[in-house]
Structure 1
Amino acid sequence: MKNKFALLCIAVLLAVSSCSFTTKKFDTEGSDKDKILIELITYVIDQGHYDKRKIDNDFSKQVYDEFIESLDPMKRHFMQKDLKDFDQYKTEIDDQIKEKDISFFNLVYNRYQQRLEETKVFYNSILEEDFDLNSNQTINTDYENLEFVKNSKDLKKRWKKQLKFSIISNYYAAFDTQNALAEESDTVEIKSSEELKKEAIDQTRESIERYFSNSEDLRREDWFNLYVNTVVSQFDPHTAYLAPRDKDRFDISMSGKLEGIGARLQKLRDNVKIVEIISGGPAWRGKELEVGDLIMKVKQEDEEQAVNITGMRLDDAVELIKGPKGTKVTLTVKRVDGTFEDITLVRDVVEIEETYAKSTIIEKDESKFGFINLPKFYFNMNNYNERNAASDVEKEIKKLKASGVQGIAIDLRNNGGGSLSTVVEMAGLFIDKGPVVQVKDKDGNVEVLKDKKKGTIWDGPLVILVNELSASASEILAAAMQDYKRAIILGSRQTYGKGTVQNVANLNRWMRSNSLGDMGALKLTTQKFYRVSGGSTQLKGVESDVTVPDRYSFIDIGERDYKNPLPYDKIREADYEVWTGYEDLENIVKASQNRMDSHEQISLIEEQAKWIKTQRDKNDFPLNFQAYKQLMEENDAQAKKFDSLNDYKNSLTFKSLPSEIKAFETDEALKDKRENWHNNLQKDIYVEEAVSVLQDLRQHTKNFKLAEASTQN
Structure 2
Amino acid sequence: MKITNKFNITLIVFLLIFQSLKADNTFAKDTDPEKDKILVYVLKNILTRGHFVEKDMNDDFSEQVFHSFIDGLDPSKRYFTQEDVKEFSKFKYEIDNQLIADDVSFYNIVYQSFIEKIKNAKSYYGALLAKPFNFKKTETIDIDYKKAPFAKNEKELINYWRKQLKLNVLSRIQDKLEKQEAQLEKDKKIDVKSFKVLEKEARADILKNMDELYLRIEELEHEDWFSTFLNSVVGAFDPHTTYMAPRTKERFDQDMSGKLEGIGARLVKKGIYTEIFELVSGGPAWKQGALEAGDIILAVAQGNSEPLDIVGMRLGDAIKFIKGKKGTEVRLTVKKKLDGSTKIISILRDIVELEETFVKSTIVEKEGRKYGLIDLPRFYIDFSDSNSRDSAKDMEREIERLKSENVSGLLIDLRNNGGGSLKTAIEIAGLFIPKGPIVQVKFRGRAPEVKNDTDPKMQWDGAVVVLVNELSASASEIFAAAMQDYGRAIIIGGNQTYGKGTVQSVIPINNFYPNYEKDLGAIKMTIQKFYRVNGGSTQIEGVYSDIAMPNKYSYMKFGERDLDGALVWDKVPQATYTKTNSYENFSEVVNKSKSRVALDPKFELINEYAKWLKSNQENTSYSLNTAEFSAESKLIEKASKKYATAFKYNSDLRFKSPKYEFPLVEKDSILAEKRTIWHTNLAKDMYVAEALNVLQALKLKNVEVITKN
TM-score of the pair, normalised by structure 2: 0.93
Residues 304-333 of structure 1 deviation map (CA, whole Å, 9 limit, x = unaligned): x21111111111111111111111111111
Residues 101-150 of structure 1 deviation map (CA, whole Å, 9 limit, x = unaligned): 11111111111111111121231121112223332222111111111112
Unaligned runs of 5+ in 2: 1-10, 16-31
User: 1:677 — aligned with what?
Assistant: 678
Q: Does 1:649 align with 2:618?
A: no
Q: CA deviation at 1:195?
A: 2.5
Map 1:299-338 → 2, pairs under 5 A = 299-301=301-303, 303=305, 305-336=306-337, 337-338=339-340
User: 2:634 — aligned with what?
Assistant: 633
User: 1:128 — aligned with what?
Assistant: 130
Between the aligned partners of 2:522 and 2:61, the Cα distance in structure 1 is 22
User: 2:370 — aligned with what?
Assistant: 368
CA contact (8 A) 2:467 2:493 kept: yes
Map 1:180-199 → 2, pairs under 5 A = 180-186=182-188, 188-199=190-201
Between the aligned partners of 2:681 and 2:88, the Cα distance in structure 1 is 51
Residues 56-82 of structure 1 deviation map (CA, whole Å, 9 limit, x = unaligned): 111111111111111111111111221
User: 2:702 — aligned with what?
Assistant: 702
Name the amino acid aligned to 2:587.
Answer: E
Tell me the SS of whatever aligns to 2:137: strand
TM-score of the pair, normalised by structure 1: 0.92
CA contact (8 A) 2:75 2:145 kept: yes
Tell me the SS of whatever aligns to 2:550: coil
User: 2:382 — aligned with what?
Assistant: 380
Q: CA deviation at 1:184?
A: 2.2
After TM superposition, the structure 1 stretch with the greater mean CA deviation from structure 2, 562-571 or 250-259, is: 562-571
Map 1:126-525 → 2, pairs under 5 A = 126-186=128-188, 188-301=190-303, 303=305, 305-336=306-337, 337-515=339-517, 517-525=518-526
CA distance 1:363–1:184, change in 2 (3 Å):
farther
Residues 477-497 of structure 1 deviation map (CA, whole Å, 9 limit, x = unaligned): 001001100000001221111
User: 1:22 — aligned with what?
Assistant: none
CA contact (8 A) 2:462 2:700 kept: no
Between the aligned partners of 2:490 and 2:386, the Cα distance in structure 1 is 30
Between the aligned partners of 1:673 and 1:626, the Cα distance in structure 2 is 45
Name the amino acid aligned to 2:142.
Answer: N
Q: CA deviation at 1:642?
A: 1.5
Between the aligned partners of 2:333 and 2:283, the Cα distance in structure 1 is 19
Between the aligned partners of 1:615 and 1:138, the Cα distance in structure 2 is 16
Q: Does 1:78 align with 2:98?
A: no
After TM superposition, the structure 1 stretch with the greater mean CA deviation from structure 2, 62-71 or 640-649, is: 640-649
Between the aligned partners of 1:90 and 1:171, the Cα distance in structure 2 is 43
Name the amino acid aligned to 1:508.
Answer: N
Map 1:552-701 → 2, pairs under 5 A = 552-697=553-698, 699-701=699-701
Q: CA deviation at 1:681?
A: 1.3
CA distance 1:153–1:600, change in 2 (3 Å):
same
Q: CA deviation at 1:302?
A: 5.6
Name the amino acid aligned to 1:299.
Answer: A
Map 1:54-133 → 2, pairs under 5 A = 54-133=56-135
CA contact (8 A) 2:417 2:476 kept: yes
CA contact (8 A) 2:274 2:298 kept: yes
CA contact (8 A) 1:459 1:704 kept: no
After TM superposition, the structure 1 stretch with the greater mean CA deviation from structure 2, 43-52 or 226-235, is: 43-52
Between the aligned partners of 1:186 and 1:656, the Cα distance in structure 2 is 48
Q: CA deviation at 1:596?
A: 1.1
Between the aligned partners of 1:174 and 1:382, the Cα distance in structure 2 is 51
Q: CA deviation at 1:194?
A: 2.6
Tell me the SS of whatever aligns to 1:32: helix
Tell me the SS of whatever aligns to 1:112: helix
Q: CA deviation at 1:280?
A: 0.8
Q: Does 1:535 align with 2:543?
A: no
Between the aligned partners of 1:390 and 1:33, the Cα distance in structure 2 is 39
User: 1:21 — aligned with what?
Assistant: none
Between the aligned partners of 2:406 and 2:193, the Cα distance in structure 1 is 60
Residues 211-269 of structure 1 deviation map (CA, whole Å, 9 limit, x = unaligned): 21222111222111111011101111111111111000000111110111111111111
Unaligned runs of 5+ in 1: 9-29, 708-713
Name the amino acid aligned to 1:395.
Answer: R
Between the aligned partners of 2:143 and 2:127, the Cα distance in structure 1 is 23
Q: CA deviation at 1:703?
A: 4.7
Moved beyond 6 Å, runs of 4+: none
Tell me the SS of whatever aligns to 1:258: strand
Between the aligned partners of 1:356 and 1:485, the Cα distance in structure 2 is 27
Between the aligned partners of 1:245 and 1:453, the Cα distance in structure 2 is 39
User: 1:50 — aligned with what?
Assistant: 52
Map 1:540-551 → 2, pairs under 5 A = 540-551=541-552
Between the aligned partners of 2:170 and 2:599, the Cα distance in structure 1 is 42
Tell me the SS of whatever aligns to 1:368: strand
Name the amino acid aligned to 2:623.
Answer: P
Name the amino acid aligned to 2:269.
Answer: K
Q: CA deviation at 1:554?
A: 0.6
Q: Quick one: percent identity of the two aligned structures?
A: 45
Q: CA deviation at 1:186?
A: 4.3
Name the amino acid aligned to 1:60.
Answer: S
Between the aligned partners of 2:145 and 2:536, the Cα distance in structure 1 is 38
Q: CA deviation at 1:193?
A: 2.4
Between the aligned partners of 1:302 and 1:569, the Cα distance in structure 2 is 61
Q: CA deviation at 1:702?
A: 2.8
Tell me the SS of whatever aligns to 1:107: helix
TM-align CA RMSD? 1.9
User: 1:23 — aligned with what?
Assistant: none
After TM superposition, the structure 1 stretch with the greater mean CA deviation from structure 2, 627-636 or 350-359, is: 627-636
Q: CA deviation at 1:335?
A: 2.0
Tell me the SS of whatever aligns to 1:437: strand
Between the aligned partners of 1:186 and 1:342, the Cα distance in structure 2 is 49
